[in-house]
């Protein structure tokens, strides 16, 4: 009997907690639970961006970072008239007569003699063109006569000279502030002497998964358990944006532990990205924890599919994204909201870029109350929806080239109709 009384007390306590949570969620949903369009969510996120400071770093540390200054050339490119190929520098007016060879000019050596009537200089690719020469004839378009003179055997045409500053003039702006640096940009930094470019500091993003059902990839999931795919997907997405991910682990479905983990993340990082735990379930403690921590929630429900349960909040200068627990939803909302936030915080262009392509087949859907984002492949310049079973179908994402948007109120897209593809 004593055991039954204890059990009854525990059950009553749990019921009280669940009722309190339900009451809170109803109140919370009344404040911020109205579904908002993705365009409005994007605007609110962009208006909440906290700019990141800049720092000097070496070229080798600049890849996938954002430039915080214009890169201005301090040299002409090419810096002198140079040969575009191996051959002979001469005067075009002399091509009809034998040419006497007066010197050899390798790359990196200045010419010592001037080209005059009837003379030529052997020259290598990249070497300075000697004064007096107005063309370079290719080695394969020549032969030597019995006196070792050079005879042109080709057809007059190109000069085969790369002229000074024809690519870049000193003072030209080669890279704009806000450029997201790729390998080809690092070559420009090196060529213009930017050995320590000014770069936006990488924002740090804490990544937290939630749920008692989640186990790490090295673990064998038991009954009712799944491996944690979201965290590692998000870590890679954050890295791809040029920011620094910090994986904080899995928050259990327990208020105190969740609160402590969130506080650690807020203390150390610029941004928190968590997945799951923000819906209306009895064990979704995140909104309740946010309320107690003083987080201002700007929205928590999007009129999109997949990605409806998406939260954005702020506390001081820190920003928090609560993404859905399903991997396709988490990927999609990160791409549309978190990625632009990170880019703009570093001073880069946050615009979501799309390409317009025709549908390869007709596509229809049963419900059209929300904007739908459908994973697609691109083949032969046309768009094809791929097999997709819903927001938990992470394999579909691995086979996709991008997403297309089917707007609210639209139930089908006809074959051949132009549609915008957001590539991933």
> 15 in a domain, yes or no?
no
How far apart are alpha carbons 241 and 197 in whole angstroms?
Answer: 19
Q: What integer pLDDT is reported at residue 207 of this predicted model?
A: 97
Which long-range contacts does 117-124 make (Cβ < 8 Å, 24+ apart)?
117/91, 118/94, 119/90, 120/88, 120/89, 120/90, 120/94, 120/150, 121/88, 121/89, 121/90, 122/87, 122/88, 123/83, 123/86, 123/87, 123/88, 123/89, 124/83, 124/86
> 301 in a domain, yes or no?
yes
> 14 in a domain, yes or no?
no
How far apart are alpha carbons 383 and 245 in whole angstroms?
Answer: 33
pTM, two decimal places: 0.83
Question: pLDDT-based confidence at 339, cuts 50/70/90?
Answer: very high
Mean pLDDT of 213-219: 89
Mean pLDDT of 382-408: 86
Summarised one tens digit per residue, pLDDT across range 367-386 is 888 999 999 999 999 999 99
Question: pLDDT-based confidence at 95, cuts 50/70/90?
Answer: very high
Mean pLDDT of 405-424: 94
Q: State the total domains in the chain.
A: 4
**CATH, residue 245:** 3.40.980.10
Whether residue 117 has pLDDT greater than 90 = yes
Q: Please give the distance of CA 208 from its chain centroid, rounded to a whole number.
A: 21
The first and second tokens of residue 339, run together, are 């990625």
Whether residue 12 has pLDDT greater than 90 = no
Q: What integer pLDDT is reported at residue 201 of this predicted model?
A: 98
Nearest to 80 by CA among 158, 172, 170: 170
Whether residue 390 has pLDDT greater than 90 = no
Strand 82-83 with 271-275, pairing: unpaired
**Residue of higher predicted confidence among 24 and 208:** 208
**CATH, residue 146:** 2.170.190.11
Mean pLDDT over all residues of the chain?
A: 89
The first and second tokens of residue 81, run together, are 């008239």
Nearest to 403 by CA among 417, 424, 389, 387: 424
Tell me if residue 404 falls in helix, strand or coil.
Answer: strand
> In 44-59, which positions are buried (b, 16+ CB within 10 angstroms) versus exposed (e)?
ebeebbeebebeeeeb
How far apart are alpha carbons 151 and 21 in whole angstroms?
Answer: 93
Domain end point (choices 304, 322, 345)? 345
Segments in 334-393 forming alpha helices (H): 339-345
Which long-range contacts does 224-230 make (Cβ < 8 Å, 24+ apart)?
229/327, 229/394, 230/275, 230/276, 230/323, 230/325, 230/327, 230/330
Same domain for 288 and 409, yes or no, is: no
**Residue of higher predicted confidence among 83 and 217:** 83
Whether residue 279 has pLDDT greater than 70 = no
Same domain for 235 and 139, yes or no, is: no
Whether residue 27 has pLDDT greater than 70 = no
> 20 in a domain, yes or no?
no
Summarised one tens digit per residue, pLDDT across range 168-181 is 999 999 999 999 99
Same domain for 245 and 305, yes or no, is: yes
* CA-to-CA separations, 127 to 102, 316, 388, in angstroms, rounded: 16, 59, 58
**Residue of higher predicted confidence among 4 and 392:** 392
Whether residue 15 has pLDDT greater than 60 = no
> 238 in a domain, yes or no?
yes
Q: Is 227:216 a contact under the CB 8 Å cutoff?
A: yes
Same domain for 208 and 259, yes or no, is: yes
Whether residue 276 has pLDDT greater than 90 = no
How far apart are alpha carbons 100 and 120 in whole angstroms?
Answer: 6
Same domain for 234 and 305, yes or no, is: yes
Question: pLDDT-based confidence at 153, cuts 50/70/90?
Answer: very high
Same domain for 179 and 291, yes or no, is: no
> 17 in a domain, yes or no?
no
Domain end point (choices 145, 180, 199)? 199
Same domain for 316 and 193, yes or no, is: no
Same domain for 86 and 151, yes or no, is: yes
Summarised one tens digit per residue, pLDDT across range 288-305 is 889 899 999 999 999 999
- Identify which of 21-30, 220-229, 368-377, 389-398 has the greatest average pLDDT: 368-377
How far apart are alpha carbons 343 and 352 in whole angstroms?
Answer: 11
Same domain for 314 and 404, yes or no, is: no
> In 369-401, which positions are buried (b, 16+ CB within 10 angstroms) versus exposed (e)?
ebbbbbbbebeeeebebeebeebbbeebbeebb
- In the chain the first and final C-alpha atoms are separated, in Å, by 61
Same domain for 235 and 311, yes or no, is: yes
Phi (first) and psi of residue 306, to 5 degrees: -85, 160
Whether residue 209 has pLDDT greater than 70 = yes
> 37 in a domain, yes or no?
yes
Identify the domain containing residue 190 by its residue range: 54-75+169-199
**CATH, residue 186:** 3.90.105.10
């Amino acid at each position: 009997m004593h055991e039954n009384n204890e059990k009854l007390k525990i059950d009553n306590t749990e019921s009280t907690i669940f009722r309190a949570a339900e009451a809170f969620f109803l109140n919370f949903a009344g404040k911020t639970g109205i579904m908002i369009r993705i365009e409005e969510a994007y605007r609110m996120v962009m208006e909440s961006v906290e700019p990141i400071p800049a720092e000097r770093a070496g070229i080798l540390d600049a890849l996938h970072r954002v430039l915080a200054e214009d890169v201005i050339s301090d040299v002409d490119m090419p810096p002198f008239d140079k040969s575009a190929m191996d051959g002979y520098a001469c005067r075009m007016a002399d091509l009809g007569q034998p040419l006497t060879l007066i010197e050899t000019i390798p790359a990196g050596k200045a010419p010592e003699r001037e080209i005059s009537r009837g003379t030529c200089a052997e020259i290598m690719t990249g070497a300075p063109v000697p004064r007096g020469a107005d063309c370079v004839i290719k080695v394969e378009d020549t032969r030597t006569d019995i006196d070792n003179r050079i005879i042109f055997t080709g057809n007059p045409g190109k000069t085969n000279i790369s002229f000074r500053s024809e690519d870049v003039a000193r003072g030209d702006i080669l890279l704009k502030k806000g450029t997201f640096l790729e390998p080809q940009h690092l070559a420009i930094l090196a060529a213009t002497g930017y050995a320590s470019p000014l770069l936006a500091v990488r924002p740090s993003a804490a990544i937290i998964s939630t749920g008692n059902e989640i186990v790490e990839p090295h673990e064998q999931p038991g009954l009712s358990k799944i491996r944690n795919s979201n965290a590692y997907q998000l870590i890679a997405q954050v890295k791809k944006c040029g920011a620094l991910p910090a994986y904080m682990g899995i928050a259990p479905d327990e208020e105190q532990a969740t609160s402590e983990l969130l506080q650690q993340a807020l203390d150390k990082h610029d941004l928190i990205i968590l997945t799951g735990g923000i819906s209306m379930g009895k064990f979704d403690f995140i909104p309740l924890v946010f309320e107690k921590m003083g987080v201002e929630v700007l929205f928590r429900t999007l009129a999109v599919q997949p990605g409806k349960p998406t939260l954005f909040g702020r506390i001081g200068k820190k920003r928090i994204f609560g993404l859905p627990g399903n991997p396709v939803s988490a990927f999609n909302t990160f791409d549309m909201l978190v990625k632009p936030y990170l880019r703009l915080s570093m001073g880069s262009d946050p615009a979501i870029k799309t390409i317009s392509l025709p549908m390869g087949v007709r596509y229809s859907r049963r419900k059209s109350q929300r904007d739908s984002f459908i994973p697609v492949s691109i083949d032969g310049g046309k768009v094809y929806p791929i097999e997709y079973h819903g927001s938990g179908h992470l394999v579909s994402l691995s086979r996709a080239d991008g997403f297309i948007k089917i707007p609210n109120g639209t139930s089908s897209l006809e074959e051949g109709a132009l549609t915008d593809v957001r590539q991933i």
